[in-house]
Structure 1
Amino acid sequence: MTTTPTTTTTATASTTGGTSATAGSTATAGDPPVRSDTKIAVLLREDLEPWQRLNVTAFLVSGLGTDLPEVVGEPYADADGTPYLPMFRQPVLVFEASKETLTAAHGRALSRALPRSVFTSDLFATGNDRDNRAAVRAVPADRLDLVGLAVYGPRNAVDKVIKGARMHP
């Protein structure tokens, strides 16, 4: 896909997790935070340009909510009743690592059969979804030139997958 710099907001949160208040939520300010037993992690190759990091992150997490509906919370609404789309129930933690660490993390995600999405360097040169899928399909898993990986699963399994990565600055 041909990508150009876009305005994308990516939020990260502490590794202690938590949930967002949603429309209809009964949580109050005094309630203790809920620690999720699952984790969403995005691992980016450390040599990406800032706009590429945002773009890759947005693409990587876009599939999680469609394929794993349990990760998406209820719709939001403001005090005026204006509706907003639902978001993930838990934080999305963004990490960075070397190409070698990213490749190793991909192998660990595959061996654990965790839900995952990939973004390869080839996708920066394509212009549409069909060509994106063809670019990934053309390369064996162990030869993908990964620039990003998103993974979802039990906290401890995800932590093992992203071992060696560091929180994105």
Structure 2
Amino acid sequence: MEATTMDRTATLKVGDTAPDFTLPDQSGNKVTLSSFRGKKNVVLVFHPLAFTSVCTVQMPGYSKEKQSFEGLDAQVLGLSVDSAPTHKAWAEHLGGIEYPLLADFWPHGEVAKKYGILRPEGYSERATFVIDKQGIIRHIEVHEIGKVPDRAKLIQILKTLR
């Protein structure tokens, strides 16, 4: 699905190797995408900004589905251009998030650029990338910015990777 508002510094498609990155999470731990290769599928969830209405509904939902994702050998990684301290405060405000919230803060939006979803306004599209255990992108979806994505659809996609 193409979105005309995207800053397309990269154009990724299903079947491409997911661009690697290392980013800090809300606890200050460094998380590297390639560290999951051979171990887990990854659901990379880009959300525009912490403390916004749709993101505040969307992101806790992945914690509610934690057992489903774990049962499918999948790790959820949330990602936005917010800083790690902002993610920490937001996770605490939400009552805890049970997966890493990654800070694509500096260089600003660098990972979102690699994935081709940095908006001209300086934040990412609301987008989901499903990456298999070999690091290959198996699903890409750019969602309407004001709508919560369907988690059940992600579960179905992950089931096809078994």
**Both proteins in one fold, TM over 0.5:** no
Structure with max Cα Rg? 1
* Structure number having the greater helix percentage: 1
TM-score by length of 2: 0.29
TM-score normalised by L of structure 1: 0.28
